[in-house]
Amino acid sequence: MTSNFQNDLRYRKKGGKIYISGTIQPVNQISADQQTTVAVLPEEYRPIRTAYNVCQGGGMNRFYLTANVDGSLVVQKYGTTQNIPIPAGAWLSISIDFPAD
């Protein structure tokens, strides 16, 4: 978890898949055009290829969460029909899975 976010994510490997779940909150507002790394996964929990996911943000807002092969989890494109800043303290729910090696 990076210092710009509060709360913890949980991850596990089971049945040939890696599962990541939890909620995160940005400490400061994140601008609409910014890509922000929220965490870096340990090597044994990283995807074998980049995984793209749509996750639920605060209210009706959604965001893209990219799980990269280097282990970085990157948040971007928050909003409903257009990108808006992610407010400080907004709850971002994460529940994703991708193939393990």
* Neighbour tally for 66: CB within 10 Å: 17
Phi, psi of 10 (to 5 degrees): -115, 145
CATH number of the CATH domain containing 9: 2.60.40.1830
pLDDT at residue 37 tops 80: yes
Phi, psi of 12 (to 5 degrees): -155, 160
pLDDT at residue 19 tops 60: yes
Taking the whole predicted model, whether its pTM rises above 0.75 is answered as yes
Report d(CA 54, CA 9) in Å as an integer: 16
Residue range(s) defining the domain that contains residue 90: 5-99
Domain count, the chain: 1
pLDDT at residue 6 tops 70: yes
Residue ranges in 1-101 assigned as alpha helix (H): none
> Smallest Cα–Cα separation from 64: which of 38, 99, 27?
38
